[in-house]
Amino acid sequence: MHTRTLGSDLPVSALGLGCMGMSQSYGPNPGSREEMVGVLRDAVDAGVTLFDTAEVYGPFVNEELVGEALEPVRDDVVIATKFGWRIGADARGLDSRPEHIREVVDASLRRLRTDHIDLLYQHRVDPDVPIEEVAGTVAELIAAGKVGHFGLSEATVATIRRAHAVHPVTAVQSEYSLWTREPEDGVLAVCDELGIGFVPFSPLGRGFLTGTMDTTTAFTADDMRAGLPRFTPESIAANAALVRHVTALAADRHATVGQIALAWLLAQRPFIVPIPGTRRISRIRENLGAPAVALSADDIADLNGLADRFGVTGERYNPSQAQYVDR
């Protein structure tokens, strides 16, 4: 398996695994908990070393699943989880108060069945808590041995700089793919400048960039895509031209559409480590073939311009979700 390094000293597989969908967000799970444990262990056997979860996924049950699956191989993997939400029957919104971060970390350690979290992200930037306080709290947890590395998710350039000035940021996680290009507006450059890794979530466009959706695709009520502007039938029809172009290139390169999308991401920067999510080991093995896909300079230049040439219809979040993105 190809490897890359996040920050200065966190080596991981070139592709990680986003575990959220094993517990929520993408409709009924086709497998049982035991089957998902098996998929996670098969992923380790296939060469994946970076596993991404969060307390809010489920909530809580995703961390429990990851903890159960990876406990036997804990020394061979890197576990990333996140803090930053108020979670409860009547609780909504962000919460990165120092005391809450400490509570979350202790609870996450129990669920993950481990004595340390390799990479701890602030899930969303909390405008009510200075990022310096957040970074300082995580630094204390690192000094205590409970956390290995500090990360941010969906943070702006200014936030990244302020956090990094207090404690080195090892990784920034944000959505990035052939149809979501916002990190190119400064975030990738600041990561390059400061030696920070970049971890794209939804690198396959929540499944759209695998070429398996069309206007007849139906989403169940518990599938988050049912409420996203980019996944209305009208948006899918408008965005199909982009996928058709990638599909033609994939056929020429004897690769799948998803492998082309991931290979393009890997070609953008040597410190990029995508975390495609899936619930099937067959998809994991397919994704792991992406580093071997040879894209020429012309291929990369062509793919770089796709979003501008074809346009992307639909916002990536609905208004209730977009309010939590750092600006």
For residue 169, CA distances in Å to 79, 116, 138, 198 come to: 16, 17, 10, 10
- HSE (side-chain half, CA atoms, 13 Å) at 80: 30
The reply to whether 57 belongs to the active site is yes
Phi-psi region of 27 (alpha: psi -120 to 50; beta: other; left: phi over 0): left
Indicate the residue type of 230: R
Tokens of 143: 């000094």
The whole-angstrom separation of Cα 219 and Cα 202 is: 17
Task: Give strand pairing partners of 156.
Answer: none
**CB 198 within 8 Å of CB 167:** no
Q: String of b and e for 22-58 (b: at least 16 CB within 10 Å)?
A: bbbebbeeeeeeeebbebbbbbbebebbbbbbbbbbb
Tokens of 201: 């979530």
Catalytic residue among 26, 57, 121, 176: 57
CA angle 96, 101, 107 (to 5 degrees): 135
The whole-angstrom separation of Cα 291 and Cα 134 is: 35
The alpha carbon of 230 is separated from its chain's Cα centroid by a whole number of angstroms, namely 18
Is it true that the peptide bond before 11 is cis, omega within 30 degrees of 0? no
Tokens of 278: 């899936």
Instruction: Please give the sequence-ordered ranges of beta strands (E in DSSP) within the chain, or none if there are none.
Output: 3-6, 10-13, 17-18, 50-52, 78-83, 117-122, 147-153, 169-175, 197-201
The whole-angstrom separation of Cα 42 and Cα 134 is: 35
Active-site residue list = 57
